[in-house]
């Protein structure tokens, strides 16, 4: 299957700082990327959908100014958590869809963000 690489896998940051998470499709061009947030023992909650070269579409209740998404190329999308606070601590996961597998979405390894 296709490979999606997410980096970093773990990050600890101080409250008030910003953190950038990268999501790369390694062997296909991702026309669409998705960002999810997952709380412990819960399901994945879609935060936003981004298409290459256009603005991301955010789900209801997700602050677009706090969670900045950039999808500048067909292989890279980034999520920046701005002015992070402890309540932003969570597991963030990206997925990518594109190429021949235009229906199936492949997931990155996830990023565990801890804000102290």
The yes or no reply on residue 32 touching another protein (CB under 8 A) is yes
- 75 dihedral zone (left: phi>0; alpha: psi -120 to 50; beta): alpha
Report the C-alpha gap between 61 and 31 in whole angstroms: 24
The yes or no reply on residue 52 touching another protein (CB under 8 A) is no
- Residue from 68, 99, 107, 114 binding another protein (CB under 8 A): 107
Report the C-alpha gap between 72 and 63 in whole angstroms: 20
Contact predicate 13/1, CB 8 Å: no
Between 29 and 109, name the residue whose CB sits nearer to another protein: 109
Q: Least CB distance from residue 116 to another protein, whole Å?
A: 19
Between 79 and 93, name the residue whose CB sits nearer to another protein: 93
Contact predicate 96/79, CB 8 Å: no
Give the residues lining the site for another protein (CB under 8 A). 1, 4, 6, 32, 34, 42-44, 46, 49, 91, 93, 95, 97, 103-110, 112
């Amino acid at each position: 299957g296709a490979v999606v690489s997410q980096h970093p896998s773990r990050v600890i940051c101080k409250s008030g700082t910003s953190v950038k998470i990268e999501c790369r499709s390694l062997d296909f061009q991702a026309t669409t990327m998705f960002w999810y947030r997952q709380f412990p023992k819960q399901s994945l909650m879609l935060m936003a959908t981004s298409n290459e070269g256009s603005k991301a579409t955010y789900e209801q209740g997700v602050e677009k100014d706090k969670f900045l998404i950039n999808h500048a190329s067909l292989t890279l999308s980034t999520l920046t958590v701005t002015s992070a606070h402890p309540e932003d601590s969570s597991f963030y996961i990206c997925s990518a869809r594109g190429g021949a597998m235009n229906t199936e979405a492949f997931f990155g390894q996830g990023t565990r963000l801890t804000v102290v």
